[in-house]
């Protein structure tokens, strides 16, 4: 039995946990922000870096001065000074430093603070080592036992030895063995090699020991990949470091070869899978050739007698005659032991619905061999490669001409969507799907989309069809927008949709164009944030305040389309109405009450019929009050309220049962030089002139009365209009002298004297 090639894959391959986390964080950030800075390359793999750069990644060697995007710190970590610079520049950080690397930073910083000299086993130019040095200021870097031996170890000093996480574990063991052998008790060794690195190295070494050829997949600049290569090379002479399937050394591989595959931490799964898939294809191809070689000896003579070919090969171009056609497949006589079969999907790069409409029996047809025998024994053929070159030329022309075509979206991923153009599967990156940045790729599957060819080659020059639907959508929107800008009119009212809300206002879309609705134009009352009135998606009417066609700016107003609170108030209320409101502010002269969004003044003099000293004696902020509208000034937009007007005046209530010459009891409340104030019924203030206080001639009423004294008074007259009583204390009877004398009217605002003058006059009288 013929021996076939065997492919064996190392147990531990691909991204380590730290690198995987960093790469995932980068992809996730770019999905959301579309722009990201990376402090150095995230991974030593050009394919991955190129893909991230296409999505918006910018690799930098210094902390950006401007914080227009987040900064990602890769798994290798950075020095303490970098974090200081980040804080200084106020840059938002995505810290993807490997937890094992962070542990090393903490160890060296702690030991350095305790006066230890730091020694690092690793590559002095590797980013991880440079980052570690940044946490201990300075360190000696070694890469072998001989390098350690060359160090001048001072017995009077303390040393700490750590290692790069991807350092060769066997080399580190040799160094620690030497330290133990030489009894260097002042050297503390911390093995900080990552367990994943050890497992990867051990697995690679074990695999290499039993393989004829070892393929180490990864970047040639990757430290851990180079260490795998060095380890494998020691036990397997035919060890090769390859970056992708294109570098597979086929001349070292035949049907008897055992091929081992291992990969560094910088190799993504899809590159490893491509290498393995290519080896499997090679294996299958060698098996087919073996079968053909065996059959050639027995069938050669018979085929030659019939004038046919002796054998065919996979990938070979052949010609044949159509012998049978169905809508789904074409059967072709290729002068071989079996007929060839071309399915509808393999007939053309373009979409084919029915093969009977394209070919007929007897037609000569050219195709390429895909497989020597399928499950029914037919030779599987395809015509696609024959058309492919021509199709790519057409796609290039479409790119140059900006041709617009339609495609059905057949697949979606987190990075974009896929559709076919002329039978070639094309990729539409997420940022090329729509002008809507939040477009969900999954929502486009099964839909027809207008697209243009963006690229026909990738950065490496390989054929790759990249499409854009965003560019077409943008062109269509610009054309529609220009039409709207020509028709929209200032002062008109339009229906719009709230698209975005900011602190300073909201953006409203009108017929496809966005206008700014400033916060001051949202409501008639003062609001702190637009979200108090609006939410995204609201359908509202807005009035166009101004149009700047040159700069494509539109200023809108929402409140102009609705009645103001003042207008609504006037529609609802008039002078004399009784209203209810809430006290919003209290001032010395009264209180402001909010009634239907209008602030009304309730003056202190209109709080109570009795004299009010302080507003807070009656009201407090937040209190609900009922009052009467005393006046509305339309010009100044002012409303006056009164509370006391809702109750009967105390004087009117008291005077109902009062008549002239009645004797009533009063309380002296204030004493002036020209008379006294008395309280009637506890809430009516009246003035009795000095002449009615006593029959004697007085310098001051204080000579015969005092504040708080209760006295009897005679009602001389009742002034209902002026709300006043003409009173007199009960005096000695001196005929009709007092009864015919009209009471003097007290008008304190007309008094022309000062307290100083009054006291002076009183003292003068006493000294006479």
Catalytic residue numbers read 128
How far apart CA 216 and CA 243 sit, in angstroms, is: 8
> Binding residue per annotation — 126?
yes
Contact, 204 vs 231, CB < 8 A? Answer: yes
Strand order in the sheet with 57-60: 57-60, 36-39, 70-73, 93-95
Q: Which residue has the tokens 């350690």?
A: 148
3-state DSSP helix/strand/coil percent for the chain, to nearest 5? 35, 30, 35
> Binding residue per annotation — 16?
yes
Contact, 16 vs 49, CB < 8 A? Answer: no
> Binding residue per annotation — 98?
yes
> Binding residue per annotation — 76?
yes
Residues 6+ away with beta carbon under 8 Å from 568: 596, 597
How far apart CA 421 and CA 417 sit, in angstroms, is: 13
Enter the DSSP assignment of 745: P
Residues 6+ away with beta carbon under 8 Å from 549: 485
| Sign of the dihedral defined by the CA atoms of residues 437, 440, 441, 444, in that order | negative
Contact, 84 vs 77, CB < 8 A? Answer: no
Contact, 328 vs 291, CB < 8 A? Answer: no
Residues 6+ away with beta carbon under 8 Å from 366: 317, 318, 319, 383, 386
Phi, psi of 555 (to 5 degrees): -105, 125
> Binding residue per annotation — 348?
no
How far apart CA 56 and CA 26 sit, in angstroms, is: 10
What tokens does 707 get? 């504040």
Residues 6+ away with beta carbon under 8 Å from 657: none
Beta bridge partners of 408: 448
What tokens does 36 get? 């990201």
Enter the DSSP assignment of 575: T
How far apart CA 211 and CA 237 sit, in angstroms, is: 10
How far apart CA 240 and CA 249 sit, in angstroms, is: 8
How buried is 172 (Cβ within 10 angstroms: 0-12 exposed, 13-18 middle, 19+ buried)?
A: buried
Closest CA to 120 of 74, 79, 83, 75: 79
> Binding residue per annotation — 236?
no
What tokens does 169 get? 């574990």
C-alpha dist (Å) from residue 76 to 38, 54, 121, 161 = 12, 23, 15, 19
Residues 6+ away with beta carbon under 8 Å from 229: 216, 239, 241
> Binding residue per annotation — 745?
no
> Binding residue per annotation — 649?
no
> Binding residue per annotation — 222?
yes
How far apart CA 158 and CA 630 sit, in angstroms, is: 92
Residues 6+ away with beta carbon under 8 Å from 180: none
How far apart CA 735 and CA 732 sit, in angstroms, is: 9
Measured CA angle at 442 (ends 439, 443), to 5 deg: 65
**Number of helices followed by number of strands (H, E) in the chain:** 16, 37
> Binding residue per annotation — 38?
no
Question: Binding site for isopentenyl diphosphate: what residues are annotated?
Answer: 44, 76, 126, 222-224, 266
Binding-site sequence positions for dimethylallyl diphosphate: 44, 76, 126, 222-224, 266
User: Which residues define the annotated binding site for [4Fe-4S] cluster?
Assistant: 16, 98, 194
Extract the annotated binding site.
16, 44, 76, 98, 126, 165, 194, 222-224, 266
């Amino acid at each position: 039995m013929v021996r076939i090639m065997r492919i064996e894959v190392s147990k531990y391959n691909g991204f380590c946990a730290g690198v995987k986390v960093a790469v995932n964080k980068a992809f996730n950030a770019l999905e959301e922000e579309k722009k990201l800075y990376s402090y150095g390359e995230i991974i030593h793999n050009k394919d991955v870096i190129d893909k991230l750069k296409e999505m918006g990644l910018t690799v930098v060697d210094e902390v950006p001065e401007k914080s227009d995007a987040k900064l990602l710190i890769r798994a290798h970590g950075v020095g303490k000074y970098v974090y200081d610079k980040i804080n200084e520049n106020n840059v938002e950080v995505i810290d993807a430093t490997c937890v094992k690397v962070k542990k090393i930073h903490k160890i060296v910083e702690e030991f350095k603070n305790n006066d230890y000299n730091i020694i690092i086993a690793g590559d002095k130019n590797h980013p991880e080592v440079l980052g570690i040095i940044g946490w201990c200021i300075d360190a000696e870097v070694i890469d072998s036992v001989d390098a350690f031996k060359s160090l001048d170890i001072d017995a009077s000093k303390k040393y700490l030895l750590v290692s790069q996480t991807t350092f060769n574990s066997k080399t580190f063991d040799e160094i620690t063995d030497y330290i133990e052998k030489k009894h260097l008790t002042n050297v503390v060794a911390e093995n900080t090699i990552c367990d994943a690195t050890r497992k990867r190295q051990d697995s690679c070494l074990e695999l290499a020991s039993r393989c004829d050829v070892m393929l180490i997949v990864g970047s040639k600049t990757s430290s851990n990949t180079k260490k795998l290569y060095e380890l494998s090379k020691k036990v397997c002479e035919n060890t090769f470091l390859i970056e992708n399937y294109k570098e597979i050394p086929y001349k070292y591989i035949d049907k008897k070869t055992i091929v081992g595959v291992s990969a560094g931490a910088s190799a993504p799964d899809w590159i490893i899978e491509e290498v393995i898939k290519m080896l499997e294809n090679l294996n299958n191809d060698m098996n087919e050739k073996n079968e053909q070689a065996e059959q050639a000896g027995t069938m050669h003579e018979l085929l030659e007698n019939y004038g046919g070919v002796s054998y065919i090969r996979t990938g070979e171009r052949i010609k044949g005659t159509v012998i049978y056609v169905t809508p789904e497949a074409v059967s072709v006589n290729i002068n071989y032991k079996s007929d060839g079969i071309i399915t509808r999907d393999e007939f053309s790069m373009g979409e084919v619905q029915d093969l009977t409409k394209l070919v007929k029996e007897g037609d000569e047809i050219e195709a390429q061999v895909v497989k020597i025998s399928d499950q029914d024994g037919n030779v599987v053929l395809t015509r696609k490669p024959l058309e492919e070159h021509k199709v790519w030329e057409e796609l290039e022309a479409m790119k140059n001409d900006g041709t617009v075509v339609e495609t059905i979206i057949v697949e979606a991923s987190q990075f974009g969507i896929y559709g076919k153009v002329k039978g070639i599967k094309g990729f539409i990156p997420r940022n090329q799907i729509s002008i809507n940045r939040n477009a969900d790729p999954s929502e486009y599957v099964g839909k027809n989309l207008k697209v243009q060819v963006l690229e026909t080659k990738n950065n490496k020059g390989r054929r790759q069809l990249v499409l854009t639907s965003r560019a077409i959508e943008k062109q269509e929107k610009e054309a529609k927008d220009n039409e709207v800008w020509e028709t929209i009119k200032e002062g008109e009212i339009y229906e719009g949709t709230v698209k975005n809300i900011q602190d300073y206002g909201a953006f409203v879309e009108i017929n496809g164009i966005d206008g700014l609705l400033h916060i001051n134009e949202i409501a008639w009352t003062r609001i702190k944030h637009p979200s108090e009135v609006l939410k995204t998606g609201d359908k509202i009417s807005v009035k166009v305040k101004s149009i700047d066609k040159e700069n494509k700016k539109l200023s809108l107003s929402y409140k102009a389309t609705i009645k103001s609170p003042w207008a609504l108030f006037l529609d609802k209320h008039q002078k004399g109405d009784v209203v209810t409101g809430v006290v919003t502010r209290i001032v010395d002269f009264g209180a402001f009450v909010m009634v239907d969004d209008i602030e009304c003044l309730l003056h202190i003099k209109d709080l109570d019929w009795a004299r009010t000293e302080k507003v807070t004696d009656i009201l407090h902020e937040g209190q609900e009050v009922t009052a009467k509208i005393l006046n509305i000034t339309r010009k100044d937009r002012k409303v006056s309220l009164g509370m006391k007007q809702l109750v009967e005046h105390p004087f009117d209530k008291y005077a109902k049962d009062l008549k002239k010459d009645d004797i009533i009891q009063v309380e002296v409340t204030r004493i002036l030089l020209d008379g006294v104030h008395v309280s009637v019924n506890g809430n009516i203030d009246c003035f009795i002139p000095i002449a009615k206080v006593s029959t004697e001639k007085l310098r001051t009423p204080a000579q015969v009365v005092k504040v708080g004294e209760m006295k009897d008074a005679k009602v001389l007259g009742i002034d209902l209009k002026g709300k006043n009583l003409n009173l007199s204390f009960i005096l000695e009877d001196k005929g009709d002298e007092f009864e015919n004398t009209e009471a003097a009217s007290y008008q304190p605002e007309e008094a022309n004297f000062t307290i100083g003058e009054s006291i002076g006059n009183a003292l003068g009288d006493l000294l006479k």
